[in-house]
Amino acid sequence: MRTPTLRFLADEGCDFAVVRALRAAGFDVVAVCEIMSGSNDSDIIKLSHAGNRVLLTEDKDFGWLVFVSHADSAGVVLIRFPGNARSTLPGAVVWLAEKHASELQNAFVVLEPNQVRFSRNSRFKKKDPV
């Protein structure tokens, strides 16, 4: 069952098919390319945290921001899908959101074909939905 307050922010590097699939499944998804194209990673992670939105990205730099520079985060899903598995990507992200909704908030998640890894970081801050 999906948590109604689970919301996402899709980084510009996130495959837009993921945005469309999540929206079609009823999730609240804001795409950076639609609201502030060309933003830097630091601004995106701040926007994600301020809006209490789990960040969807294919950019490994967000791992550095969260774990090394200790940027506050509402959660990050790092998507690592090779070219030969891209057709399954939208469905995999929707499955993740539906199956693990309660675990995505305030976690760092790596999503790969047939594998999901969860990490917790004490710097993740819980925020009330805006």
Instruction: Say which residue, 130 or 61, is predicted with more confidence.
Output: 61
For the chain, the distance separating the N- and C-terminal CA atoms, rounded to the nearest angstrom, is: 22
CATH of the domain at 90: 3.40.50
The set of residues, in sequence order, having a beta carbon less than 8 Å from that of 23 and lying 6+ positions away, is 29
How many domains does the structure of the chain reveal?
1
Residue 127 lies in a domain: no
Residue 126 lies in a domain: no
Residue 32 lies in a domain: yes
Residue 130 lies in a domain: no
Domain range enclosing 99: 7-120
Instruction: Say which residue, 45 or 92, is predicted with more confidence.
Output: 92
Residue 129 lies in a domain: no
pLDDT at position 4, please? 52
pTM above 0.95, yes or no: no
Residue 64 lies in a domain: yes
Residue 2 lies in a domain: no
Using 50, 70 and 90 to split pLDDT, how confident is the model at 3?
A: very low
